[in-house]
Chains A and B, each alone.
Chain A
Amino acid sequence: MTMDLGELCDRAGCDRQAALELLAEAHATQSGIGLPWHARALIGLTAWITALVTVTLGIAVLYAGLGVDPLRGVPLTSLGALFLGSGLWGLGRHADRGVFVEQASTALAAAGLAMISAGVGLATEELWVAALAAVVLLGLVVETGPGTVLQFLAAALALALVLLTLVLERVPYFLDLASLTVPLGLFLLLHPPRIDLRPTAVVLLLGLPLLELASAWTGAADAIRPGGWGARIMCIAGFVAVIALLRRHTRSPIGRRNYLLVGGGGIVLGALLPPGGSATLAILLAAYALGSPGLSVVGALLFVAFLWELYYDLQMTLLGKSLVLMSSGLVLLGLWWLAGRSRAGENAR
């Protein structure tokens, strides 16, 4: 990337000197722990195992040392609070903490979040109370801002418990309600507030497709899927909104025309595919808009998973499935062909 800071500040309307100072300061702080993601993943893996052993040790202290049943509400919540407090302390200790401290603290805090939610649920014997506790804890994690991984896990726990509550309580139009997470996630990713909510946004974006896949794989699909047109419309609306946003930020006429075509194709695909499949298209589009390799890999894997799921869908005949697949395949290939033509046109100009 050859863009310099002056150019970026001209385009984004920021103060160059202040930006330079901030980035220089951040660079100086991070230089000691600047390991690439795969090295961090290795350290993270071993740190998580260490933290899980520590959590087991905590349970052993309660059970074997103090003779308290750790699977009862109050002891579990107390132990969870202890782990969450230790984790947050480790994460907030100092900016240049090592990867091990960061990951082990994250794992301890995450275990604490899960234990508190479970403890509250066990004490009240109500799932929705556990979900509410998880949402409140997510707010705490966002407010204290200790790390993206912890926020991601806290958001995943909260969303999973909320969705589980909606499923078990048999809330009408459940899938349509759950699909609200897609436009909300897109909005938070592409139009983010100053407080860092990116991990929560990613969880919201992944919620619907993962829910559909999980329900299909666990055999609960029939209980969840009825209806779904509201969800489809919600996903299409999210997709179209992103296209409109991208189009507004594009100067080239060919690029603007291409976005119109992709928007049209997206509407057709959204009508053909199940809601989770449309949400996956929105994820791929967000990956493109933000230049996010992680989202692009997740989106592609989810898309393949949806094709797999379609094969086992008992509510559709093989003929129906083949027509859906061939139509959506032709739409995608048509867009690919048009993109190639536009590129050739731009090169010629």
Chain B
Amino acid sequence: LTAHRDPRLDRDAVDLLHGAGLIPTARYLDAVQAVRDAPAWNAWARGALLALGAGQLLAGVVFFFAYNWNDLTPFARFGILEVSILISVIAALTTGLERALGKTLLIAASLLTGTLLAVIGQVYQTGADAYDLFAAWAVLIAPWVLASASAVHWLMWLVISLTAYVLYWRQVLQPLGAVSETELSVILAGLVGLVLGIRELAAGAGIDWIRRPWTRMLPLFAALLFLFMPALVWILEESVEPLGLLMFVPASLAALLGYGSGRADLAAVSVAGGFVALAVMAGGARVLADTVGFDWSSAGRILTSLGLLALWCTLVTSGAVVLLNRLRARQRGPV
């Protein structure tokens, strides 16, 4: 920074100037408003009003029908929901799917489709498993999800699809003993990882709506969490299935190397690094438990094991600091 160039002005800078007495309290809000990105915040305010308003109205309509549910004939129940879906879809198409309102209406149609399927299940009680409902829901709304080009809609679809698979496992595969809990976690991680891969390809191909950072962070976090949980259980409790750990190690390393290379994505590296650091800390605790032991009745043992664990955690954290600082320095490039 030179004396000729103005420093970056944001709320932290305003707070610093205010704290030093350079901005009087009476003008603080003026200063904050001057440095905030007004167009972006106005857009945020409009988006929040639309999302909260539409969400509440829709929830109110659902509650209203729930209140009168017992008095409605099955025909009326289906009719109300089907007409609502039709109105939402027509309104979405009329408004235009490139606009926020159009996308919101199509999301509403997708939610109403789930409600309709639940009502069908209630009226025609066939004893079918609940996974049928979620699977049918995911299949039926898939065209709308693709057409809306909305990351929120896409996330909703992903949650419905994964719920369908988890229910299928619980209701069909688990009773048969076909797939264990660890294997389920690995399969879910694989599915989410596949979605992440498709996202990366689509973003690379220039599809704009999918390029928001959270569309990478959320599946990455979910995929690694699905692998981390069974890995942690194996590390701490010596479960008989090391599959989670065996998959967690290459997956987290791939994430660290993939997102850490080139112009690193520090956020993605932080997520992967966080899981790795926790696993390594847990590994240290396990080794200490097996060798020295955490025995509170023996002063020597407990003090030694806790002291070594504190040292180990400090080392792991220092490693994370070094890694992140190096990546940060590489991101900034030569000064």
User: Measuring CB to CB, which residues of chain A are less than 8 angstroms from any residue of chain B?
Assistant: 1, 3-8, 11-15, 18-20, 22-24, 26-28, 34-36, 38-39, 41-43, 45-47, 49-50, 53-54, 56-57, 60-61, 63-65, 98-100, 104, 190-196, 198, 245-246, 249, 284, 288-292, 296, 300, 303-304, 307, 311, 317-319, 321-336, 339-340, 343
| Interface pairs (25), CB distance under 8 Å | A1-B10, A5-B6, A12-B30, A22-B16, A22-B22, A24-B1, A24-B7, A39-B270, A41-B270, A41-B274, A42-B270, A46-B274, A57-B303, A64-B296, A64-B298, A192-B25, A194-B25, A249-B29, A249-B30, A291-B32, A291-B41, A292-B11, A322-B62, A323-B64, A332-B53
A24 and B17: CB pair below 8 A?
Answer: no
Q: Which of B43-51, B144-152, B201-209 contacts A (4 or more CB under 8 A)?
A: B43-51
Residues of chain B from 46 to 61 with CB closer than 8 A to chain A in the complex: 46, 48-50, 52-61
Q: Which of B5-41 contact A (CB under 8 A)?
A: 6-11, 13-25, 27-37, 41
B42/A57 in contact, CB under 8 A: no
B contact residues, total (Cβ < 8 Å): 85
Give min CB distance, B86 to chain A, whole Å.
20
Q: Check B274 against A45 for contact (C-beta < 8 Å).
A: yes
List residues of chain B with CB within 8 A of the CB of A11: 27, 30-31, 34
Nearest CB of B to A79, in Å: 14
What separation, in Å, do the CA atoms of A231 and B33 have in the docked complex? Answer: 29
Interface string of B54-81 (1 = CB under 8 A from A): 1111111111101100000000000000
Query: CB-CB contacts of B240-275 with A at 8 A, as 1s and 0s?
Result: 000000000000000000000000001101110110
Which residue of B has the minimal Cβ distance to A60?
A: B302
Q: Is the CB of A13 within 8 A of B24?
A: yes
Indicate if the CB atoms of B64 and A47 lie closer than 8 Å.
no
Please state if B313 and A291 are interface contacts (CB–CB under 8 Å): no
Further contacts, 13 of them, CB under 8 A, given A322-B60, A332-B56? A12-B30, A24-B7, A27-B7, A34-B328, A60-B303, A61-B303, A194-B19, A322-B61, A327-B60, A329-B54, A329-B55, A333-B57, A343-B46
A7 touches B34 (CB 8 A): yes
Q: Quick check: which of B154-162, B180-188, B223-231, B304-312 contacts chain A, the rest being far away?
A: B304-312
Contact A339/B46 with A291-B11, A325-B56, A329-B60 known, Cβ cut-off 8 Å: yes
* 0/1 interface trace, chain B 258-302, chain A, CB 8 Å (1 if under): 000000001101110110011001000000000000001111001
Determine the residue in chain A with the shortest Cβ distance to B16: A26
Q: Chain A contacts of B95 at CB under 8 A? A: none
Contact status A319-B15, CB under 8 Å: no
CA distance in complex: A245, B58 (Å): 33
The reply to whether A300 and B9 contact each other, CB–CB distance below 8 Å, is no
Report yes or no: A53 in contact with B306, Cβ–Cβ below 8 A. yes
**Residue among A5, A43, A104, A343 with the highest chain B CB neighbour number at 10 A:** A43
A8, B34: Cβ atoms closer than 8 Å: yes
* CB-defined contacts of A328 to chain B, threshold 8 Å: 56
Given known pairs A14-B22, A249-B33, the reply for A42 and B46 (CB within 8 Å) is no
Nearest residue, chain A, Cβ from B44 = A296
Answer whether residue B171 sits at the interface, using C-beta atoms and an 8 A cutoff.
Answer: no
Q: Which chain A positions have C-beta within 8 A of B269?
A: 39
B316 within 8 A of A: yes
Which one of B16, B35, B316, B318 lies within 8 Å of A3 (CB-CB)?
B35
Where chain A touches its partner, the secondary structure class is helix
A-B interface contact total, Cβ < 8 Å: 264
- Identify which of B109-117, B124-132, B135-143, B319-327 touches chain A: B319-327
B17 CB contact (under 8 Å) in A14, A192, A292, A303:
A14
Q: Most chain-A CB neighbours within 10 Å: which of B55, B58, B316?
A: B55
Q: Is the Cβ of A35 less than 8 Å from the Cβ of B296?
A: no
Q: Across the interface, do B296 and A43 meet the contact criterion of CB distance under 8 Å?
A: no
CA distance A27 to B56 in the complex (A): 45
Asked whether A20 lies within 8 Å of B324 as measured between CB atoms, the reply is no
Cβ of A104 to closest chain B Cβ, rounded Å = 8
With the chains together, A20 CA to B4 CA distance in Å? 10
Contact B29 A245 (CB under 8 A): yes
Tell me, yes or no, whether B317 is within 8 Å of chain A by CB: yes
Given A24-B7, A53-B306, A336-B29 contact (CB < 8 Å): no
Tell me, rounded to whole Å, the shortest Cβ–Cβ distance linking A180 to chain B: 21
Q: How far is the CB of B194 from chain A (nearest CB, A)?
A: 24
- Decide yes or no whether B122 CB sits under 8 A from chain A: no
Q: Report the bound CA distance from A307 to B320 in whole Å.
A: 40
Report B-chain residues with C-beta under 8 Å of the C-beta of A61: 303
> Smallest CB–CB gap between B286 and chain A, Å?
14
Partner of A47, one of B15, B31, B46, B317: B317
Asked if B274 and A42 make an inter-chain contact with CB atoms under 8 angstroms apart, the answer reads yes
Give Cα A98–Cα B324 distance, bound, in whole angstroms. Answer: 12
Q: Do the beta carbons of B35 and A8 come within 8 Å of each other?
A: yes
